Amino acid sequence: MIRIFKLTQSIFYVFLLVSCSSIAVKTYNLESPAIAEQSYVKIVLISDLHSTIYGPEQSALIDLVKNINPDIIILSGDIYDDVVPHTGTRLLLSGISSIAPVFYVTGNHEYMTENIASIRKELVSFGVTILSDAYIPITVKHNEMIIAGIEDPYKQDYETPDYNQNDAMEAAFRELDNISVYKILVAHRPEKIDTYKNYSFDLVLSGHTHGGQVRLPPFINGLYAPHQGLFPKYGGGLYAHNGLTHIISRGLSVKPFLPRIFNPPELVVIIIENAE
């Protein structure tokens, strides 16, 4: 009986390891009158890779993105890691650079490398647009849009001591209140949503939580998240805030010493269509 119990326990652990180490694709379908009729914009959101490698030369992840055929690729921070070598990140950037325009914001771990200047140079060398407390007007399938991004608050600790994220947002984004196109904010940390809601964005994209690491759906949407603690309010998924949609990726990091339980690594797809 004891042997059977141990065997069952081992099988269960193997099941958890396998089921939570392959990439899940999560798709969100949104509607907006700002999108032209019979048109749509498809976004791939990649977050919290932490230089994890999927398949030879990052092929499993790159092929997934290619098959989705996005109009925009967004990297919402912690694509690099401060401990893991940057090989997986470089393979990803090389593989996705020709698929669609790539936009990036910093996460806390890019700053924790204490080499943020070199990281920025490398990103630019791969053709990535860095959104550093700034916004860019873009046109996708004749749809005028704005994509904006903010620096992670660790900028204050590791680069610019007098940096204040709230002040930076006010200086960069208040003028968007008078612009009536679809507006996206990329912000690594979801727990600051009450600040983001003060602006006229339609969609906020975040990461950082790793899905709360351990999930027991539908009862627990995350056991622990950085800067939120136990049972985080914003563990992962879609949250609606009076007209503002907030999507939090569960991220792609897989670390043997920190297993994901009922919480597979996630590639997010967002499809925005006209609201008829």
Burial 40-49 (b: 16+ CB within 10 A, else e): bbbbbbbbbb
Q: What is the pLDDT along the chain (276 residues), one digit of tens a residue?
A: 555 444 444 433 444 444 466 999 999 999 999 999 999 999 999 999 999 999 999 999 999 999 999 999 999 999 999 999 999 999 999 999 999 999 999 999 999 999 999 999 999 999 999 999 999 999 999 999 999 999 999 999 999 999 999 999 999 999 999 999 999 999 999 999 999 999 999 999 999 999 999 999 988 999 999 999 999 999 999 999 999 999 999 999 998 778 899 999 999 999 999 986
pLDDT at 55: 96
pLDDT at 211: 96
Q: Which of 41, 39, 32, 37 is nearest to 275 (CA)?
A: 32
pLDDT at 275: 85
pLDDT at 255: 85
Where do the domains of the chain lie, and which CATH numbers do they carry? 2-274 (3.60.21.10)
pLDDT at 2: 57
Can you tell me the distance from the alpha carbon of 44 to that of 46, in angstroms, rounded to the nearest whole number? 6
pLDDT at 20: 60
Can you tell me the distance from the alpha carbon of 222 to that of 177, in angstroms, rounded to the nearest whole number? 34
pLDDT at 6: 44
Q: Which of 273, 252, 253, 260 is nearest to 26 (CA)?
A: 252
Residue identified by tokens 């269509």 is 273
pTM of this structure: 0.92
